[in-house]
Amino acid sequence: MKGEDKNLKNKTIGFVGLDVQDTILYLSRIFRQMGKTVLMADYSKSQALSYSVPAVPGVDTNSGMVDYRGTFFTSGSLMPDDFAKFDVSMIFFGFEERDEIKFCTHIIFTTDGERNHVKKLCEMENRQEVYKQLVFRNAGNARALRAMFVEGWGQVGTMVCEEQEYYCNDNGREKKLRACCQYQEIFDFRGISQNYRSYLKDTVRAVFPEEAVGKKFEACFRQAEMGA
């Protein structure tokens, strides 16, 4: 996947659409256990990911980076040189249109199937030839699929995931995640289903297909599950 200002060794994952701060945080721990340097950025209107990272006295994430448990976080603008410093960068865009999306090697779109959200996603749909994943979260299958295709989505090469199977429409759990800092002294994969674990593994394999296999990867995943 060649492109201007892209380094083939560095992966940049863009998350577009509904709040997926928990997915980003889970992936950050897995990548960390794999020995990757990890950067997270939040440009969303909700700032859901920002609220999940502890504030560091004297550090303004709009102009600097927070270093916490081996990963880095910012809400400031990123330049090509910034991406080159990290093996994996994960950017939460929400529904905000920003130039940084052009640096993405992988883009994950998330929707609940509601027409207004679908319309926003279609407006932001990026024509780059990169890995794309479409995730339905807290959505009814038929309604979501119908809405997406009515709006002209479904281009060739987009992987479709029924993520509502993993979350089981658990709004209570999502509220609980928002209510407390997810990066307390330990961040374990508490209360997630086997299907969701499989989804996380599949997403990691899409980013690092040659490394996310075998006993070594399973050991990394188990360490991440325990909050290491």
- 195 within a domain of the structure (yes/no): yes
- 5 within a domain of the structure (yes/no): no
Residue 13, beta-bridge partner list: 90, 106
pTM (2 decimals)?
Answer: 0.81
Q: Which of 19-33, 43-57, 80-94, 168-182 has the lowest mean pLDDT?
A: 168-182
3-class DSSP assignment, residue 151: coil
Cα 57 from Cα 9, distance rounded (Å) = 33
List pLDDT tens digits, range 83-141. Answer: 999 999 999 999 888 888 889 999 988 877 777 777 787 777 766 678 888 777 766 65
- Higher-scoring residue by pLDDT: 126, 206: 206
Cα 192 from Cα 162, distance rounded (Å) = 15
Q: Number of structural domains, the chain?
A: 1
pLDDT for res 187: 63
Domain of 92: which CATH number? 3.40.50
List pLDDT tens digits, range 138-177. Answer: 666 555 565 565 555 555 345 555 544 333 344 555 555 5
Cα 34 from Cα 21, distance rounded (Å) = 20
- Higher-scoring residue by pLDDT: 129, 48: 48
- 6 within a domain of the structure (yes/no): no
pLDDT for res 31: 96
The dihedral sign for the CA sequence 29, 162, 195, 213: negative
How does DSSP classify residue 52?
A: G
From 74, 90, 94, 91, select the one nearest 19 (Cα to Cα).
94
- Mean of the per-residue pLDDT values of the chain: 76
- Which residues constitute the domain of residue 209? 11-225
Cα 88 from Cα 107, distance rounded (Å) = 13
- SS percent in the chain: helix, strand, coil, step 5: 35, 20, 45
Cα 219 from Cα 121, distance rounded (Å) = 36
- 3 within a domain of the structure (yes/no): no
Per-residue pLDDT band at 30 (split at 50, 70, 90): very high
- 171 within a domain of the structure (yes/no): yes
- 4 within a domain of the structure (yes/no): no
